Structure 1
C-alpha cells in the first residue's frame, strides 16, 4: 500500500501540474510595437508637445526605461531581433541581406509560448520574411508565418493606414477606417477568444504608425489643430566636429528634405507624426478598456515600445538607422499589474535594448531563455535599479550605403561610435559623446585629453564586442564581412573587397533598375 506522505506529495505535484496546464499561474502578455517612434515623442519622456495620456498612465503604473535602444535601428532587422532575442549578425535578417530562416523563427517568443500552451495572436506589420530562401521581400503571404499563431491580423510589407486595404482586419473598416483604431478593435476580439480558450494569451500588435506617409486618423484632427511646435536645440545643427562625415553621406541627410526645407513643411510633418502617435495612444486605451471589460486586466502584462527611433530633423537628419539618440532610442514601458507599489511609476536608467524583449517575455511566462538569445531578462531590473549586470549594449548598422555602416557601444553615460568607411573623401571616424550630460550629442569629445581614460575603456568594450561578433556572425547573407569592416585595426585596402557601394553609386543603381 502506498505511503500516505508519498501519496500526498504525488497529489500535490499533480495539482501543481494541472494548474500549470490550465495557465492559472501564468500571466497574459501584450506586446505593443509602434513603427519609427523616437523616445522623446512620448509625453512621459518629457515632451509636453505630444498628447499621449494612455502611454503616460502606463508609465505611472509601471516601469519606464530611460535608455532603451534598438540595437539595429531599422524596421525589418529590429523586428526579427525582437522576436528572437538575437543581434542582427545572428538573425541574418535585414533589407539587402536576407529573410529569417525558419529554424530561427522556431525559437522566437511567439512560437515558444504557443508550444508552452499560450493562445497567441499577431496583428499589424510583421515586417520581415520567414523563409529558407534568399529573398528578404515580405510582400508575399507565403513568407509570413500565419499558421504559427492561433489568430492572425497581420499584413504584407509596410501595410496600409486604410483599414480596408489590410486583408485580415478589413472587417473593422466601416467603424474604424484608420488602422490604428482598427487594431484596438481586433485586440478586443482576440482577448475575448483567448478567454474562451481557457489558456493564458500572448498578443502582439505592430502598428504602422507613425511611419511615413504621415496620414493620421482624421478622428483626432482637433487634438493638434492650430498648434505650433518648438524644435529641439539640435534641430538643423549640422556644423562642427560633433558629426562625422559618414553620418551625412546617406539618405538620412541627403533625402527627407521636408523636415528642414521650411518652417511650414516642418510643422506639417511633426503634426502628422505626433497625431499618428496619438492614434496609437488611443488604441492603447481601447485595449486597456477591453482588458477591464473582459475581466483579465489584473493578470495581464503590457509591454510598449517601438522598432526604432526617428531623427525628426535633429542635426539636419531624418529617418533612423544612425546610432544617434533620436534615431536609435525608443520608449519602453513595462506594466505588470501584479507588481508591488514600489515598482510602479519608477524609472530605470541602465541600458536596455530590443534584444531583451524575447527573454523578458519568456521569463514572464515562466519559460527558459534559449542559449542562442543575446538579450537579458529585464524583470530583475524592474525590481532593482541595478538588477542586471550588463552596463553597455552594442548598436549596429549593416544596411544602406557603405559610409553609414557602423558599430557603436552605449552605456547610460557614454556612447562610442566607430564609422568604418574610408576613401579619398573621409577616413574612419570615431565619436565619443557624454550622453549622460550631452543628450543632444552636440559635443564629440573624442580628442579631449580629459576623457582619454573613458575613450580607452569604450574602445576596449568595443573590441570585446567585435570579438564576440567575429565568433558568432553567420556565414550567409553577407554578414561575415563585418568581421573586417568593423575592425579598428583594418585599413582601407583590407576593407575594399567587402564594400558594396557609396550613396551616389547606390542611388544611380536604383535609377537604372527603374
Structure 2
C-alpha cells in the first residue's frame, strides 16, 4: 500500500496538482548525446552523471532506439512514432533528412506544437536533424519558441562551429569548441527560462561523441590528454572467429577479421569518444548547478539519453552503428525528477517513441487532447515506480521492442575504405522480460537470426542457422508473428501488438510471449505470413515489404499524418567555405566562459558562404 501511495503522489506531483508548486507544472530538461553507447560502458566515464543523475535518479537498462541512425531516430523521438510511420528512414536521400521532414509536413504536427498546447515554453539548442544546413537554415524547425541549431556541413568539425538562431543568418563562433558553444548557449537560455517563471521544456543536443567525419571525435583541448591508456572492451562479440561470424547474415558473414591496425583504430576511436563525453558531463554539471542555485531543481525532470547506440570491434566492425545488435540499439537513459526514487536501476523496457507521450503526461495535457498519431506510450508511471512488484500488466507491450532499418551502413574509422554496405535493411524484434529475452531479425535478404539474449547477451550464437529445432521453430513462429504486427502497426496496435494476434481457440487473452507459447496455438502462429523483402532497397517501399499484418495494414503506416514525398528533392549544403580554429578550442580557461565571451569573436556568414547548394533528386 505504501508503494502505491508513493506512486500516486509522484504522478500528482508530475501533473502539478499537489504541493507548494501546484501553480507551476514540472519543467523538463532533455539532454541527448549523439551516437553514445550504453553497452561499451561509456556512462562509467561520466562522474557527474553517475553522482547526480544515476545516484539520485533511475537508470533504465532496457531503453532502445527505434532506429539505429541519427535522423530517423530523432524523427521518431519528435513525433512519437515508429520509423515506418514517419517514413524518415535514413540520414540522407532517398531515406530522409530535414528537407524530407519538411516536405512531408511532419514539422506541422510534432513535439514543440504539443508542448506549447500544454502551456509550456519550448526551446531547443544543438543538433536538430541531418540535412539542416547553411543553405536551408532560413526555414528553421517549426514550433519552437527558440531554436539555435548546429548547421551542416560544419557540424562534423568540432573546431568550426556554425549555427543559426531562429532561422537567422548563420554565425560562426570563432575560437570555441562545438560542445562548449552548445553548453554556453543552453545555460543562457536556462537562465532566461528560470527567470521568466513559466513552465518550460529545454532540449540540449550536443554533437559529441559523434565521429568527426571519418575520424574520432575531437574533444575539448582540456580533455585531450585524459584516458590515454584505455582500450575498447573485448566482449564475446569482439572480432570473433569464423565459427561465430559465419552465423551472421548479409555482408557480416563475409567480413574479414580485424588486423592489429584495425584493432588499434578501434581503440583510438573508443578513447576519442570517452574524451569527448567529458564535455557533456560538464553540461550536466552546469545545468544542475544553475537549477540548484536558482531553486528549480526539485521541480525539474532531467533526462539523459542518446539518439542511437554504437559498436566498436563487435562482429569484426571497428566502429559504427546501424546494426540490429545490442550495442547499436540499447541506449543510455537516466532520469531524475519529482517524486522519483533515487539510485534505482530498472529493467522496464521503453523506446524513443515513448518520450513524446511521456512529456505530455508530465505536462498534464489531457489525453483527449493528445495527437492521435502517437505510436508510443507514456512512461510516467514507470518512472515513478521503476521496479514494479507485479509482472507485465495485461494488455501492455512493455516486453516488446521493434527496431527497423532501411539503407546502407558505413564503417566509421579512417583506416577503412568509406564504402557503403548496402544490404543493411532489416526488421528486428526484441522480447525484454524477466521470464525470457530474445532478439529476432529478418534481413532484406530474408536471412533470419535468433538469439537467446539471456544466455547469449552478445548475440553470437545464432539459433536460426542450419538445423532449427522444433522448440526454436515454434518460438520463431511467434516472434515472426509479432514482427509482422510491429513492422505494420500504428497507434494502439503498436502499444499492444498482441491485440492483433489472438488465436480463436484461446480461452484467455494472450498478453505475453509466455502465454502465446502454449502448444495449442502452434498452428495459429505457424500460419501467420512471414516477414519478407523482395530485395534490399535504400528506402521504405510498401510493395517491397509485402505482406503486412493484419491484412490492409499497409494502407495506414502513418500516411494519414504526413504528406506524400515521392520523388522529393533535397538541397545539398556544399563544402565548408569558412575556416575553423587554427588552434584546438576548449581550453581550461573556456571551461566557464560566458555568452559575452562567446560573442566577442563571431563571423556572420555572407551570401557567398551560404548559397552553395546543388539540388539532388
Do the structures match in fold with TM over 0.5? yes
Q: Does 1:288 align with 2:288?
A: yes
- Secondary structure at the counterpart of residue 35 of structure 2: coil
Following TM superposition, by how much is the alpha carbon of 1:55 offset from its aligned partner in structure 2, in angstroms? 2.1
Instruction: Tell me if structure 1 keeps the 8 A contact 2:324–2:403.
Output: yes
| Whole-Å separation in 2 of the counterparts to 1:239 and 1:481 | 36
Cα distance change on mapping 1:472 and 1:212 into 2, 3 Å: same
Tell me which of 359, 362, 377 is aligned to 2:360.
362
Following TM superposition, by how much is the alpha carbon of 1:375 offset from its aligned partner in structure 2, in angstroms? 0.9
Instruction: Tell me if structure 2 keeps the 8 A contact 1:236–1:260.
Output: no
Instruction: Tell me if structure 2 keeps the 8 A contact 1:407–1:486.
Output: no
- Secondary structure at the counterpart of residue 457 of structure 1: helix
Q: How many pairs were matched up?
A: 443
- Secondary structure at the counterpart of residue 378 of structure 2: coil
| Whole-Å separation in 2 of the counterparts to 1:104 and 1:300 | 28
Q: Does 1:415 align with 2:442?
A: no
Following TM superposition, by how much is the alpha carbon of 1:203 offset from its aligned partner in structure 2, in angstroms? 0.5
Following TM superposition, by how much is the alpha carbon of 1:127 offset from its aligned partner in structure 2, in angstroms? 1.1
Deviations 1:419-463 (A, max 9, x none): 132xxxxxx211111112211111111224453443232122112
Instruction: Tell me if structure 2 keeps the 8 A contact 1:63–1:344.
Output: yes
Instruction: Tell me if structure 2 keeps the 8 A contact 1:29–1:201.
Output: yes
Q: Which structure's residues are more often helix, by fraction? A: 1
Query: Partner residue of 2:534?
Result: none
Q: Does 1:458 align with 2:479?
A: yes
| Whole-Å separation in 1 of the counterparts to 2:40 and 2:79 | 26
Cα distance change on mapping 1:299 and 1:18 into 2, 3 Å: closer
Query: Partner residue of 2:219?
Result: 216
| Whole-Å separation in 2 of the counterparts to 1:235 and 1:354 | 27
Tell me which of 412, 421, 424 is aligned to 1:404.
424
Q: Which moved more, 1:106-115 or 1:462-471?
A: 462-471
Instruction: Tell me if structure 2 keeps the 8 A contact 1:470–1:483.
Output: no
TM-score normalised over the length of structure 2: 0.65
Instruction: Tell me if structure 2 keeps the 8 A contact 1:260–1:266.
Output: no
> CA RMSD for the aligned pairs?
3.5
Cα distance change on mapping 1:84 and 1:470 into 2, 3 Å: closer
Q: After superposition, where does 1:489-500 map in structure 2 within 5 Å?
A: none
Query: Partner residue of 1:496?
Result: none
Query: Partner residue of 2:124?
Result: 122
- Secondary structure at the counterpart of residue 113 of structure 2: helix
Following TM superposition, by how much is the alpha carbon of 1:224 offset from its aligned partner in structure 2, in angstroms? 1.0
Following TM superposition, by how much is the alpha carbon of 1:238 offset from its aligned partner in structure 2, in angstroms? 5.7
Query: Partner residue of 1:266?
Result: 266
Tell me which of 455, 458, 468 is aligned to 1:437.
455
Deviations 1:371-429 (A, max 9, x none): 211111111222143576211011100222652111011022111101132xxxxxx21
Following TM superposition, by how much is the alpha carbon of 1:241 offset from its aligned partner in structure 2, in angstroms? 5.4
Query: Partner residue of 2:336?
Result: 335
Following TM superposition, by how much is the alpha carbon of 1:276 offset from its aligned partner in structure 2, in angstroms? 1.3
| Whole-Å separation in 2 of the counterparts to 1:319 and 1:116 | 38
Q: Which moved more, 1:34-43 or 1:65-74?
A: 34-43
| Whole-Å separation in 2 of the counterparts to 1:486 and 1:55 | 42
Deviations 1:450-494 (A, max 9, x none): 534432321221122244379999xxx85423532889xxxxxxx
- Secondary structure at the counterpart of residue 284 of structure 2: helix
Query: Partner residue of 2:158?
Result: 161
Cα distance change on mapping 1:172 and 1:118 into 2, 3 Å: farther
TM-score normalised over the length of structure 1: 0.77
- Secondary structure at the counterpart of residue 31 of structure 1: strand
Cα distance change on mapping 1:279 and 1:261 into 2, 3 Å: same
Instruction: Tell me if structure 2 keeps the 8 A contact 1:238–1:315.
Output: no
| Whole-Å separation in 2 of the counterparts to 1:355 and 1:238 | 36
Query: Partner residue of 1:32?
Result: 31
| Whole-Å separation in 2 of the counterparts to 1:459 and 1:270 | 35
| Whole-Å separation in 2 of the counterparts to 1:24 and 1:481 | 52
Instruction: Tell me if structure 1 keeps the 8 A contact 2:31–2:205.
Output: yes
| Whole-Å separation in 2 of the counterparts to 1:359 and 1:148 | 17
Query: Partner residue of 1:7?
Result: none
Instruction: Tell me if structure 2 keeps the 8 A contact 1:109–1:362.
Output: no
| Whole-Å separation in 1 of the counterparts to 2:342 and 2:322 | 32
Q: Does 1:141 align with 2:137?
A: yes
Question: Which structure 1 residue ranges, 5 or more long, are not aligned?
Answer: 1-15, 45-49, 130-135, 422-427, 488-512
| Whole-Å separation in 1 of the counterparts to 2:276 and 2:290 | 21
| Whole-Å separation in 2 of the counterparts to 1:33 and 1:113 | 18
Instruction: Tell me if structure 1 keeps the 8 A contact 2:16–2:22.
Output: no
| Whole-Å separation in 2 of the counterparts to 1:284 and 1:193 | 18
Instruction: Tell me if structure 1 keeps the 8 A contact 2:123–2:147.
Output: yes
| Whole-Å separation in 2 of the counterparts to 1:163 and 1:298 | 37
| Whole-Å separation in 2 of the counterparts to 1:113 and 1:375 | 16
| Whole-Å separation in 1 of the counterparts to 2:158 and 2:311 | 22
Query: Partner residue of 1:179?
Result: 178
Tell me which of 377, 400, 405 is aligned to 1:392.
400
Instruction: Tell me if structure 2 keeps the 8 A contact 1:303–1:334.
Output: yes
Query: Partner residue of 1:325?
Result: 326
Cα distance change on mapping 1:241 and 1:448 into 2, 3 Å: farther
Cα distance change on mapping 1:359 and 1:459 into 2, 3 Å: same
- Secondary structure at the counterpart of residue 191 of structure 1: helix
| Whole-Å separation in 2 of the counterparts to 1:361 and 1:53 | 27
| Whole-Å separation in 1 of the counterparts to 2:447 and 2:492 | 25
| Whole-Å separation in 2 of the counterparts to 1:182 and 1:65 | 29
Query: Partner residue of 2:509?
Result: none
Instruction: Tell me if structure 1 keeps the 8 A contact 2:305–2:334.
Output: yes
Query: Partner residue of 1:507?
Result: none
